[in-house]
Amino acid sequence: MKKRGEKFIDLEDLANHKGSAFGNIGLPKQPTQEMFENILAENLRNLHSQTNQAADFKPLSADCIWLEDESQRIGLINIPNEFWKTMRKSQVYFLDIPFEERLKHLVEEYGNLDKEKMIDAIGRIKERLGGLQAKNAITHLESNNTIESFRILLRYYDKWYFKGLHNREGINSLLTMINCESVTTENVNRLHGRPQYHETSET
């Protein structure tokens, strides 16, 4: 979206964490809470003073900043309360991507991470995932059947994400569903031209 000229903040990148129980694997140490807030504030200042350089592109809005929908807590970092409240009242564009496409993307992104660290992470969500499901996910991972292990985990995260998505006031007026066939940058074209902070989500 940055290449298209939109203003965008990657909160997970600022926090050095991808937001799930597996989010710190293979990434540098997270910044302190104070450092994260300072970096976020600096990004906001830069975006508010930014002018669009692409002559053939008109942003959706000069005041629009795109964010990925996040929980308030990203690893050990908390999104500041006022910023978080603004996110929760903002428009949400939900990229509805087929399960198998998202599964394939996750295998490509996480499939080569340290196996023992992945197993430890599954252990940390065992109570919510369920003992049998956690056991099966670990067994598949130990057998190098990454696809089936991640299939279990993706179903788990889908359930919790949908719960978090709809647990906000006025969700029916905030939510726009966008059907997408795959996890590609071409999905940005589907967002452009649709009618402040905006959030994007993938399911």
What are the tens digits of pLDDT across the range 107-122? 998 888 999 999 999 9
Residue 149's pLDDT band, with cuts at 50, 70 and 90, is: very high
What are the tens digits of pLDDT across the range 42-72? 999 998 876 555 444 445 555 688 999 989 9
* Cα dist from 16 to 8, 10, 30, 109, 177, whole Å: 16, 10, 5, 16, 29
Q: Which residue has the tokens 């003073």?
A: 49
The phi and psi torsions of 181 (rounded to 5 degrees) equal -85, -25
Q: Which residue has the tokens 């053939």?
A: 56
Among the listed residues 132, 134, 8, the one whose alpha carbon sits nearest the alpha carbon of residue 67: 8
